Amino acid sequence: MKATLNDRLFRLVFVALCAPIAVSLTGGSLRAQTPATPQVTFTKEVVPILQQHCQECHRPNAIAPMSLQTYEEVRPFAKAIKERVSARMMPPWFIDPNVGINKFKNYGGLTDDEIATIVKWVEAGAPQGNPADMPPPAKFDDDIWHIGTPELVAAMPEDLIVKANGPDMWKNIVIDPGLSEDRYIKAVEIKPTKGRRVIHHMGTTLIYPDGSSATMQSKNANIFEDGSGRSLKAGTKVVFQLHIHPYREDTTTSVEIGFKFYPKGYVPKYVAQTELMGDDHELDLPANSDNIRYDSYKILSKPTRILAYAPHMHTRAKAQCLEAILPEKSEQRDGNKVEPLNCINHFDFNWMMVYEYAMDSQPLLPAGAVLHLISWYNNTGSNRLNNDPDNWIGYGQRSIDDMAMAWMTFYNLSEEDFRQQVAERKAKSKEITENLSSKKLTQ
């Protein structure tokens, strides 16, 4: 690419003016434009990204259609990789990084730099580089419990035989873990024990003896912070929700769940709950219409700390945003009445995700705040999952019906704890800003 005179002038002036900062902030891209740029190669720069972000699914016997471990395996997919990665469709992580909160415990996206590395590599013809640079293969420990040895393990009563080449299936399998007394969960994990490659993804719901239910975080292991947990009452049933994607050959599969508990009699100060929001039956998606918007609200009657957000819609859905409308007077209201939390900018029905906020980014919301969920739909033929755009679609359980909801996992705080946690958060962010600005000054 030839730089125009203007470009060059701009760069010169820019570099001269902000040299000390610009070099450290944009050094990479400035250097990238000089001809001596070292090549991005598979063995040196690309494999580490694939090991960290792709191979969990893209390896033999895992759920993705192809393995992405060796150069020979990856090379034929270079173009497809560039497309999926730059559209932020792979790895499956659909949070818009430019809106609201971007710190998650289970963060699964790529950074801008990682995306740029892959794109640059593909555009340069996907060179292999020096085989000697290849790092040792990544290890995946499918068989261990990441939460440590569970005290209670419950498995599916019998294996599920998944016939070759069938359509995708959604199965709900109810299990009785046989708990005879109330306990509080410190950590929980679900994992396939056989036939991992047909389990596209899985979730669990607890059905309490009183009939109420709570969807739990689905991603692998979930360990609660000390002093917080989730209740598992005697007689609680567990429902495994499995999205099954048949493989080329008949496959036997099974899933189990393991729990670690707090000691008997111990009640954690904070007990996580999961509630649905937006389970409205009035959803109205006219035929052949795009960008249909649906709004749902949930009033928080007590101060609340939000732990996880799990959007749930069906095949017509395209996007969803979550924001908090703060009451007139609140600790955090620095002139903003609406606090954007997150947006899913391309919702994919095939990937029901649970986004777990990192400790220091869990939204802290005062009593009286309102969670506002905005869902968008595309009920036209341009939506590749839409098999019948001439049909009106409303609320319903079947996957050809639709929904506009999210599972919110949270715990309530006392007014006093809430004020204290907000103050701690503010002090911390002030500290970070001060550190940053003093760094800038000394540079």
Binding site for ligand HEC (CB under 6 A): 53-54, 56-58, 63-65, 77, 80-81, 84-85, 90-92, 110, 350
Q: Give me the least distance between CB of 439 and ligand HEC, in Å please.
A: 31
Give Cα 188 to chain centroid, integer Å. 18
The DSSP string of 55-76 is TTTSSTTSSSSS--SSHHHHGG
> Would you say 84 or 194 has its CB closer to ligand HEC?
84
What Rg, from alpha-carbon coordinates, does the chain have?
24
Query: Least distance (Å) from ligand HEC to the CB of residue 253?
Result: 15
Nearer to ligand HEC, 104 or 418 (CB): 104
The order of strands in the sheet holding 169-175 is 169-175, 237-244, 199-207, 213-216
| Beta-strand relationship, 270-277 and 228-232 | parallel
The CA distance from 29 to 6, in Å, is 18
- Residue 69 CB, shortest distance to ligand HEC, in Å, is 12
| Nearest distance in Å: CB 74, ligand HEC | 8
Compare residues 350 and 435 and give the one whose CB is closer to ligand HEC: 350
**How many CB atoms sit inside 10 A of residue 56's CB?**
17
Is residue 332 within 8 A of residue 422, CB to CB? The reply is yes
Nearer to ligand HEC, 138 or 374 (CB): 138
Establish whether the linkage from the previous residue to 91 is cis, with ω within 30° of 0: yes
The Cα 318–Cα 399 span in angstroms is 15
Residue tagged 């050094």 (tokens): 27
Rank residues 86 and 228 by Cβ distance to ligand HEC and give the closer one.
86
CB of 29 to ligand HEC, least distance (A): 21
As measured in angstroms, the least distance from the Cβ of 196 to ligand HEC is 11
- The smaller minimum CB distance to ligand HEC, of residues 350 and 382, is found at 350
For residues 378 and 345, is the Cβ–Cβ distance under 8 A?
no
- Specify the DSSP element, H or E, that contains 29: helix 5-32
Q: Using CA atoms, how far apart are residues 341 and 254, in angstroms rounded to an integer?
A: 36
Residues contacting residue 195 through CB under 8 Å, at least 6 positions apart: 160, 162, 251, 252, 253, 254
144 φ, ψ (degrees, to nearest 5): -90, 160
Please, which residue, 122 or 404, has the CB nearer to ligand HEC?
A: 122
Strand partners, 161: 252
Nearest-approach distance from CB 103 to ligand HEC, in angstroms: 19
Question: Which CB, 91 or 278, lies closer to ligand HEC?
Answer: 91
Minimum gap (Å) between residue 239 Cβ and ligand HEC: 22
| Contact between residue 256 and residue 189 where contact means Cβ atoms under 8 Å apart | no
Residue 355 to residue 341: CA distance in whole angstroms: 12
Nearer to ligand HEC, 58 or 183 (CB): 58
CB of 367 to ligand HEC, least distance (A): 37
Which lies closer to ligand HEC via its Cβ, residue 241 or residue 332?
241
CB under 8 Å to 266, separation ≥6 — which residues? Answer: 184
The least distance separating ligand HEC from the CB of residue 65, rounded to whole angstroms, comes to: 5
Q: What is the C-alpha to C-alpha distance for residues 121 and 127, in angstroms, rounded to an integer?
A: 7
